[in-house]
């Protein structure tokens, strides 16, 4: 009798406790959602500011020259054809400009990553006298403005007979990318436990073997992240490419886009927008497919300062 009374009294009491507890949680969720509304509004505005010009440019790449002057700015194309893309790739030499950009970007990024990873490994993993001083000396290269060294470099390349080739661009991009890459790779190596390299040394592994067998696999995500950052930096550069481009056949895509209007005698907005859209879409696709790798590489360097 006593147990039955206890159960019958306990059931309504538990309902009375649960009912008042659900109301505050629902109210808390509503207040939390209301607090997030300004954040979502700001994010929406930023997305519109960033995405609208690109969308407008892609839509404009399908318009004719007449539509640009007679129709409203926000009007959609009357016909959806690829004539502007064909014209940009054939008459505007955009295809040659893309080829030159890839011939410059891929070797430059490969040299930057290889030399930067090796320098970071030597400066952070290996112990030798004066390594901190050397690291500071390399970091000083980040603070040198690129505009200051362009004229002296052009003189050196001219006397060496390299001005009518893509070598000035490759050498300049590599030299300017190594300091930042070395600094970042040294930070990534600092997050790796030193005991791994010490154990390899105790097992008889040489520093060179430890670099290729241990260091490079551990730095895979970091190398991919820095490689993409350097890829975008080199591929989108205009100042250095414009300085060292001595012939139209050596122009990269950014220089080609700058001079695209001259190919027609006047600015043809359709082919110009088509060429720019191809450039944007290619870089956007590369970033979307490698987004997770980039985030993993960025997080790897923040584990240990």
Distance in angstroms (rounded) separating the CA atoms of residues 285 and 287: 5
| CATH code for residues 96-255 | 1.10.3720.10
CA 158 to chain centre: 32
Cα 58 to Cα 275: distance, rounded to the nearest angstrom: 10
Q: Is 274 exposed, middle or buried (0-12, 13-18, 19+ CB in 10 A)?
A: buried
Rounded to whole angstroms, the Cα distance separating 273 from 281 reads 12
Residue pair 169/252 in contact (Cβ under 8 Å)? The answer is yes
102's tokens: 């890839």
Q: Round the CA-based radius of gyration of the chain to a whole number and report it.
A: 29
- pLDDT tens per residue across all 305 residues of the chain: 444 444 445 454 544 454 555 556 778 888 888 888 889 999 999 999 988 888 888 888 888 888 888 888 778 888 888 888 888 877 767 888 888 999 999 999 999 999 999 999 998 888 888 888 888 888 888 888 877 888 888 889 888 888 888 999 999 999 999 999 998 898 888 888 888 888 888 888 888 888 888 888 888 888 888 888 898 889 888 888 888 887 888 888 888 887 776 555 567 788 888 888 888 877 777 777 777 766 666 665 555 44
Integer Cα distance of 85 and 95 in angstroms: 11
Instruction: Give pLDDT, residue 296.
Output: 66
What's the sign of the alpha-carbon dihedral 100, 102, 108, 111? Answer: negative
Residue 44's pLDDT is: 92
Q: What is the pLDDT of residue 60?
A: 86
- The dihedral built from the CA positions of residue 287, 240, 107 and 276, taken in this order, carries a sign that is positive
Q: According to the model, what pLDDT value does residue 7 have?
A: 45
Domain ranges in the chain are: 34-80, 96-255
């Amino acid at each position: 009798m006593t147990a039955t009374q206890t159960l019958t009294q306990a059931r309504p009491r538990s309902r009375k406790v649960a009912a008042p507890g659900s109301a505050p949680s629902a109210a808390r969720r509503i207040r939390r959602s209301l607090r997030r509304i300004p954040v979502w509004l700001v994010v929406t505005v930023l997305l519109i500011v960033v995405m609208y010009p690109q969308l407008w440019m892609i839509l404009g790449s399908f318009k004719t020259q007449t539509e640009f002057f007679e129709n409203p700015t926000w009007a959609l194309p009357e016909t959806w054809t690829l004539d502007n893309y064909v014209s940009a790739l054939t008459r505007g030499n955009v295809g040659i400009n893309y080829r030159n950009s890839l011939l410059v970007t891929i070797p430059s990024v490969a040299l930057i990553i290889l030399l930067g990873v090796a320098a970071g490994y030597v400066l952070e993993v290996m112990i030798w006298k004066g390594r901190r001083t050397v690291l500071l000396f390399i970091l000083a290269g980040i603070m040198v403005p690129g505009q200051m060294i362009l004229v002296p470099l052009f003189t050196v390349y001219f006397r060496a007979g390299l001005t009518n080739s893509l070598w000035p661009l490759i050498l300049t991009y590599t030299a300017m990318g190594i300091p930042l890459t070395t600094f970042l790779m040294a930070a990534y190596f600092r997050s790796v436990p030193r005991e791994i390299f010490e154990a390899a040394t105790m097992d008889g592994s040489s520093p060179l073997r430890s670099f290729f067998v241990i260091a490079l696999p551990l730095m895979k995500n970091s190398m991919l992240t820095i490689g993409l950052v350097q890829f975008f930096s080199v591929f989108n550069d205009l100042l250095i490419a414009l300085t060292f481009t001595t012939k139209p056949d050596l122009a990269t895509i950014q220089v080609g886009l700058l001079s695209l209007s001259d190919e027609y005698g006047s600015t043809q907005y359709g082919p110009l927008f088509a060429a720019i859209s191809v450039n944007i879409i290619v870089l956007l696709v590369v970033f979307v497919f490698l987004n997770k790798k980039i985030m993993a590489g960025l997080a790897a360097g923040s584990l240990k300062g």
